[in-house]
Amino acid sequence: MRTQSGHLRHLLRRARRRRISEPNYRFWDLVIKAVTATVGLIVGVIGINQYIHTLEADQAARAQVHVQEVKQKREENRQRHLQLTAKLSELRLQIYDATSKAVTTLANSDGHSDEWVAAKKEFLGLYYGELPMVESASVRLVVKQAWLEIINIPVGGYISIASSEKLNGFATDLAKAERQDLEESFGGDPTGSK
């Protein structure tokens, strides 16, 4: 058994130890709190960084989808434009063909024939109707000259040799102007003969 003095010594030693260990406790408490705060801050920064990268990746994916949609719409518009251009070129070719035939018939027919009357009616119908929609400036010039000659010839009237020759010249000029216009619209010779 301990004596009272031994017990007292033991209590004093214990009290000294506590006083010495108290600053150690505070130090380690501060270190643990600082490490915990630092780890929490690092985890927060990593989380924010991942969130930002996820947003950027999402925005990049949306932008890529938008670019694909724009490309698809452009391609659809280009296809529609090509189809419309093809239809317009076909219409132009038909109108030019009908106009050339009408002028040629007027140049080479008798003014008293039903064929001449029908050709004049066809030409005037094209001149006042469909031709202005598709004609180029060079075709318009030749057609206007032919029109001036044709309207001066009365239906069932006599066609002079000079008028016939002028109309033949207009028919040739018209065919050349139409061919040039078609070459320009097709981007080259439409017949492939050149």
Q: Which residue would you say has higher pLDDT here, 27 or 96? A: 96
Residue 75 lies in a domain: no
20: pLDDT strictly greater than 60:
no
Residue 191 lies in a domain: no
Residue 126 lies in a domain: yes
How would DSSP label each residue in 19-86? Answer: HHHHHHHHHHHHHHHHHHHHHHHHHHHHHHHHHHHHHHHHHHHHHHHHHHHHHHHHHHHHHHHHHHHH
Rounded Cα gap, residues 159 and 97, in angstroms:
23
Q: What is the pLDDT of residues 147-156, one digit of tens each?
A: 888 888 776 6
Number of domains comprising the chain: 1
Which range of residues forms the domain containing residue 175?
A: 82-186
4: pLDDT strictly greater than 70:
no
| Ranges 37-51, 123-137, 160-174: which has the least confidence | 160-174
Q: Which residue would you say has higher pLDDT here, 64 or 161? A: 64
Q: What is the pLDDT of residues 54-105, one digit of tens each?
A: 999 899 999 999 999 999 999 999 999 989 888 888 888 899 899 989 988 8
Residue 42 lies in a domain: no
Assign residue 40 a region: left if phi > 0, alpha if psi is -120 to 50, beta otherwise? alpha
Please report the pLDDT score of residue 2 as a whole number: 53
Rounded Cα gap, residues 194 and 189, in angstroms:
7
Angle at alpha carbon of residue 102, lines to 99 and 103, rounded to 5°? 85
DSSP state of 98: H
Please report the pLDDT score of residue 156 as a whole number: 66
- On whether the pTM is more than 0.75, the answer is no
Please report the pLDDT score of residue 5 as a whole number: 66
Residue 105 lies in a domain: yes
